[in-house]
C-alpha cells in the first residue's frame, strides 16, 4: 500500500518531542493559493503553534499584521502578490516562511534581499523536498565521494494537468520554470554541490492552449561551474487519472559512478564496479516549518541557507527570461 507524503509527514510531525517547538508560536497565513499545509499540518500536531487567521492576498494584510503582531507569517499568495506581502513583513521585522518564487521580477527580489540582509531577518522558503529521505540520501552519496565529481545532472518535475486556477493569468503566475522548476533546480544544486553558470530554456503551451497563460511543458539546459552540464524538464502533462500528482526524478552522474532517484525504483547507486545497488537505509523525513522554528527559537542552523534561497530565486527568474528571450543567459 502506498502512503502519500502528507500522511507520512503527519506521523513524523506527531512523533517530534514538544521541546522542539517553543511554548507558543502565533502564525498568520496570508493568501490561500499556495501550500498552506506546510504550516497547517504541523499546527494540527503541535498545540503550541496557533494559526491566528488566514487573510486573503487581496485583503488589507498590512492592517492585520499591525493588529495581530504575529510571531511568524506564512506567505501563500499567488506569485503576483507575494513580493508585496514579503516586503510588508520585512518592513515590520516579522520572520516569514514564503511560497516560491519570492517575486516575479528580479528588481523586486533584490529589494527583498536588501531588506532581509539589512534587518538580518530570519526567513525561509517553501522548498520541502530537501527534507524528504530520498533527496537527502542523494546528497549524502555525493558528499561521500562514491560517485566522484558530478559531471552531469538530469532532473524531472512532472505534474498532473489539473485545474490551472490562479495560474491561468499573467498577473498572478510567474511561469512554469519559477513555480514548478524551482523545486528541482534547488535539489540539483543542493545534492550535487555544483553551481549553474549559464542557461538556455524553452517553454510551450502546445498541449493545452485553452488553459490561459500557464505553460505546460518546459526544459532548461545549463552549464555547470566545473564544465559539466545539467538538464531539467518539467510539465503539467501527467493525466489527471495518474495515481500521484507528481513524478519527480533526479540523476547525478559522476566521474566514478551514478546515483539516481526514481519513484519506481527508489534511490540507486551504480559504482565503478558496474553493480547497481539499491539504497535501503534512508534518512528520516523532516518538517521544513518545524526546522525553521528550531532555527528561529533554538539557534539551530538555517533549514535552507539565505544564500541558497536567494540564489535559486534568481536562477529561476533568469531561466524563465532565457525562454522568453530565446537567448543563452549568464546565471
Is 86 a member of any domain? yes
Mean pLDDT over 225-250 rounds to 96
Residues in the chain: 331
Last residue of a domain, one of 127, 144, 174: 127
Is the confidence at residue 23, as pLDDT, over 90? no
Per-residue pLDDT, 7:
44
Q: Do 169 and 270 sit in the same domain of this protein?
A: yes
Regarding whether 99 and 139 lie in a shared domain, the answer is: no
Q: How far apart are CA 32 and CA 135, in angstroms?
A: 28
Residues 21 and 99 occupy one common structural domain: yes
pLDDT given at position 22: 63
Residue 18 lies in a domain: yes
Mean pLDDT of 106-131: 98
Query: What pLDDT score was predicted for residue 14?
Result: 42
Band the pLDDT of 164: cuts 50, 70, 90: confident
What's the mean pLDDT in 49-75? Answer: 95
| Same-domain status, 280 and 196 | yes
Task: Evaluate whether residue 81 is within a structural domain.
Answer: yes
CATH of the domain at 93: 3.40.50.720
Does the residue 295 lie in any domain? Answer: no
What are the cell numbers at 107? 528588481
Q: Is there a single domain that holds both residue 146 and residue 268?
A: yes
Percent of the chain with pLDDT over 90: 85
Q: Give dist(CA 150, CA 258) in Å, integer.
A: 9
Q: Are residues 100 and 204 in the same domain?
A: no
Same domain for 96 and 142?
A: no
Give yes or no for a cis peptide into 101 (omega within 30° of 0).
Answer: yes
**Mean pLDDT, rounded, of the chain:** 92
Q: What is the DSSP letter of 212?
A: T
| End position of a domain, from candidates 111, 127, 143 | 127
Whether residues 93 and 138 share a domain: the answer is no
CATH for 140: 3.30.360.10
Structural domain for 237, as ranges: 133-284+302-330
| Long-range contacts of the stretch 58-64 (C-beta < 8 A, 24+) | 61/30, 61/85, 61/88, 62/88, 64/28, 64/30
* Structural domains of the chain, count: 2
Single residue among 78, 95, 127 that ends a domain in this structure: 127
Instruction: Tell me, yes or no, whether 297 lies in a domain.
Output: no
Give a yes or no: residue 192 inside a domain: yes
DSSP state of 240: T
pLDDT at residue 21 in the model: 60
Structure confidence at residue 5 as a pLDDT band (50, 70, 90):
very low
Residue 147 in domain: yes
Out of 39-53, 121-135, 161-175, 191-205, which region has the weakest mean confidence (pLDDT)?
161-175
Q: Is the domain of 87 the same as that of 163?
A: no
Judgement on whether residues 190 and 210 belong to the same structural domain of the protein: yes
Are residues 83 and 169 both part of a single domain? no
Per residue in 86-99, pLDDT tens? 999 999 999 999 99
pLDDT tops 50 at residue 3: no
**DSSP β-bridge partners for residue 30:** 55, 75
Same domain membership, residue 240 and residue 268:
yes
Is residue 208 assigned to a domain? yes
Taking the whole predicted model, whether its pTM rises above 0.75 is answered as yes
Amino acid at each position: 500500500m502506498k502512503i502519500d507524503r502528507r500522511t507520512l509527514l503527519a506521523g513524523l510531525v506527531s512523533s517530534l518531542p514538544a521541546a522542539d517547538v517553543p511554548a507558543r508560536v502565533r502564525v498568520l497565513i496570508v493568501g490561500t493559493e499556495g501550500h498552506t499545509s506546510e504550516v497547517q499540518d504541523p499546527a494540527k500536531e503541535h498545540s503550541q503553534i496557533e494559526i491566528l487567521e488566514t487573510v486573503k492576498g487581496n485583503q488589507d494584510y498590512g492592517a492585520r499584521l499591525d493588529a495581530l503582531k504575529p510571531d511568524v507569517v506564512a506567505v501563500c499568495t499567488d506569485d503576483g502578490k507575494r513580493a508585496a506581502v514579503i516586503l510588508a513583513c520585512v518592513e515590520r521585522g516579522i520572520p516569514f516562511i514564503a511560497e516560491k518564487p519570492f517575486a516575479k521580477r528580479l528588481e523586486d527580489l533584490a529589494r527583498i534581499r536588501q531588506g532581509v540582509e539589512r534587518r538580518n531577518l530570519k526567513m525561509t522558503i517553501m522548498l520541502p523536498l530537501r527534507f524528504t529521505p530520498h533527496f537527502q540520501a542523494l546528497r549524502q552519496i555525493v558528499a561521500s565521494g562514491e560517485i566522484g565529481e558530478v559531471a552531469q545532472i538530469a532532473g524531472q518535475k512532472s505534474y498532473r494537468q489539473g485545474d490551472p486556477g490562479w495560474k491561468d493569468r499573467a498577473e498572478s503566475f510567474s511561469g512554469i520554470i519559477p513555480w514548478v522548476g524551482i523545486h528541482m533546480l534547488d535539489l540539483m544544486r543542493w545534492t550535487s554541490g555544483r553551481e549553474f553558470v549559464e542557461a538556455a530554456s524553452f517553454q510551450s503551451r502546445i498541449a493545452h492552449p485553452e488553459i490561459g497563460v500557464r505553460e505546460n511543458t518546459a526544459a532548461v539546459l545549463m552549464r555547470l561551474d566545473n564544465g559539466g552540464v545539467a538538464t531539467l524538464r518539467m510539465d503539467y502533462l501527467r493525466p489527471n487519472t495518474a495515481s500521484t500528482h507528481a513524478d519527480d526524478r533526479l540523476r547525478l552522474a559522476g566521474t566514478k559512478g551514478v546515483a539516481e532517484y526514481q519513484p519506481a525504483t527508489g534511490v540507486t547507486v551504480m559504482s565503478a564496479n558496474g553493480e547497481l545497488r539499491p539504497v535501503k537505509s534512508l534518512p528520516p523525513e523532516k518538517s521544513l516549518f518545524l526546522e525553521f522554528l528550531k532555527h528561529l527559537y533554538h539557534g539551530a542552523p538555517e533549514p535552507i541557507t539565505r544564500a541558497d534561497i536567494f540564489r535559486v530565486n534568481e536562477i529561476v527568474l533568469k531561466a524563465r527570461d532565457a525562454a522568453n528571450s530565446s537567448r543563452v543567459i549568464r546565471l
